[in-house]
Structures are given as C-alpha cells and as structure tokens.
Amino acid sequence: MMCAWEAFMNLLPIWMRENVNSKGKETLQNLRLRVGQPPILVTSDKQISLSKTVTAEDLQFCINIASRYSPWSATTVTHGYITAQGGHRLGICGEAATLDGAISCIRVPTSICLRVARDFPGIAGKIKDLDGSILIIGKPGCGKTTLLRDVIRQKSNAGRENISVVDEREELFPRYNKSMCFPIGINTDVISGCSKAYGIDLMLRSMGPDIIAVDEITAHEDCTALLHVGWCGVKLLATAHASSRYDLLNRPVYRPIVESGLFDYLVVLHQDKSWCIERMNI
C-alpha cells in the first residue's frame, strides 16, 4: 500500500497531527472536521472521535494548505472540493457565495471531509488482461479510482499499448513536491487540471493513444466526449458512480453510453472491495 501520508499530515492543523498520525496512519479513510465538534476519524471498520473541538480557524488552515495559499489556482473550490498535494481530496461545506448563479467561493466553511488517497499496486488482477473498453462502477468510497489506477499502470507496463489519462481532478496520479506520488507505468501520459471533454479531445489529437482513461464520469459532457471518441480505434477505461448494471441503466446521464455499446466490459465493485466482471452486451 502506498500513500503520501506526509502530505496528508501537512493538511491538518498542528494540534491534530500527532493524534491522527498515531490513530489513523494505516487505516484512515476519511477525516471529518466540523466547527464546534470534535474531529472524527473514519477507518475501514470504526469511527474514532478526538477530544478537542474544531474551530473555524482550523478549517481555514486546512483550506489554505490544500490550496497552497493560492485560492486562484484551486478553482475546483467552486465545485465544493480541492484536490490537495498527494491526491487527498478535501470536500468543503458551508455558506456559499454566488455570482451570476454560480458558486464563486465558500464564504464561511463549516465542515470539511478529508479523504485519504491510497494506492494498492497489483489489485487489478485479471482485469488487466481484458481486451476492450472497460467501465468500472461502484458506490462512493469502494475503490473505483484505486482499481482504475492499477489497471492503467499494469496495462501500461505490459508495454503493448500507449495509455493517455485525462485526470481532471488529479486524483488518479497526484503529485507531491513536483513528482508523481504513485507509479504511472512506462507507457502512460497524463494530462490533469482540464475538463474531461477537452482533455480527451486533446489526447486523441496529439498523443496517439491506444487507450484513453478517465475517472468518474458524472456529467452529460463527459459522456458526450466519450461517445465522440468511441469507435475511433481507441479503447476506453472509465469509472462511474453506480452500484449495479441496473443503477447504471436507470441513471439518465449514463444511458447513452450503455445503450451505444461503447464499453465491452463492466466491472462491478462491491463495498467489501471484491469485484466481478460482466459483459456489456445487452
């Protein structure tokens, strides 16, 4: 297991670091900070509450560190999250300020959910040998991104295909101190920070990929971009929020890509981290 734990520790207010380090270094999944409440460490099997309560200054500290004191470069804050160094995601909640109907910033943050990014090399198993486009689905927090990362890496290291990764949120292959936190594979090119639609188009035109990989298809634009690139001789690897094939078909946003037959295989991830492979032909 790999994790940029030092980067995660740096995100926390100084008074909290030692406690979190001793209680959650190996197993921490989420850390929830709410103003006036004690910090809650969520591990794979239990919740641990610390004694001291969280203040508004503590939350501001976390946000400042996650954005590297640069609100202008953390534009995703308007979507309610910041990807910090090391790939750890900081979900922000509070009083939003809106401009022209869109959120311009979170004026008063009241709670934060810090998700620890971890990497488990070698979990892809036989998925790496599947030949065709693969869609990985599962509930939030069941390991879609982690599995996709390993599939990308192993397919890349097999050396037969070039993989272009559009890493919009910089969660698949995050950086820490200007280097990649997790191994990316020998045939992998990564573009991060831009939208999936733009990134997919750019990769297709400029990098000559055999496979294009994207994480978390959530919007119509993402599906449209995938459909646009489909049947161009490029295979796809993607993840989506759905717990089963039934869910996938019932979500209007995903229906076009399911009905089009764009993906050959469906990998369904379960909460206990097990998975099964299904053919997509319906």
Partner 1 sequence: MTLKLLGGIFIIFGCGGIGFVKAASHRREARILAEFISAIAYMQCEMQYRITPLPDLCAQTALQCTGVLRYTFSALADELNNQISPDVECCMLSALEVTRNLPKLTYVAMRSLGRALGNFGLEGQLKELDVIYIESKQTLTAFTKNQEVKLRSYQTLGICAGAVLVILFI
Footprint on this chain of partner 1 (rule: CB under 8 A): 10-11, 14, 57, 60-61, 64-65, 67-73, 104-105
Cβ proximity to partner 1, 67 vs 239, nearer residue: 67
How near is the Cβ of 59 to partner 1 at its closest, in Å?
A: 11
Minimal distance, residue 69 CB to partner 1, in Å: 4
Full DSSP string of 30-60: EEEEEBTS--EEEESS-EEE-SSPB-HHHHH
Which one, of 193, 194, 233, 195, lies nearest residue 212 by Cα? Answer: 233
Closest CB 64 distance from partner 1, rounded Å: 6
Amino acid identity, position 176: Y
Nearer to partner 1, 70 or 281 (CB): 70
Q: Which of 185, 215, 181, 184 lies closest to 200, judged by CA?
A: 215
Shortest distance, position 281 Cβ to partner 1, whole Å: 44
Minimum CB distance to partner 1 smaller for 150 or for 167:
167
Shortest spacing between CB 61 and partner 1, in angstroms: 5
16 or 217: CB nearest partner 1: 16
Q: 64 vs 110, which CB is nearer to partner 1?
A: 64
Is 68 or 220 the residue whose CB approaches partner 1 more closely? 68
Nearer to partner 1, 100 or 131 (CB): 100
Contact (CB, 8 A) for 226 and 262: yes
Q: What are phi and psi of 217, to 5 degrees?
A: -75, 120
Instruction: Output the CA–CA distances (angstroms, integers) from residue 207 to 37, 150, 164, 190, in the order listed.
Output: 49, 21, 7, 10
Tokens encoding 100: 């022209």
Q: How far is the CB of 151 from partner 1 (least distance, A)?
A: 30
Pairing of strands 47-49, 175-176: unpaired
Q: How far is the CB of 58 from partner 1 (least distance, A)?
A: 9
Q: How many residues does the chain have?
A: 282
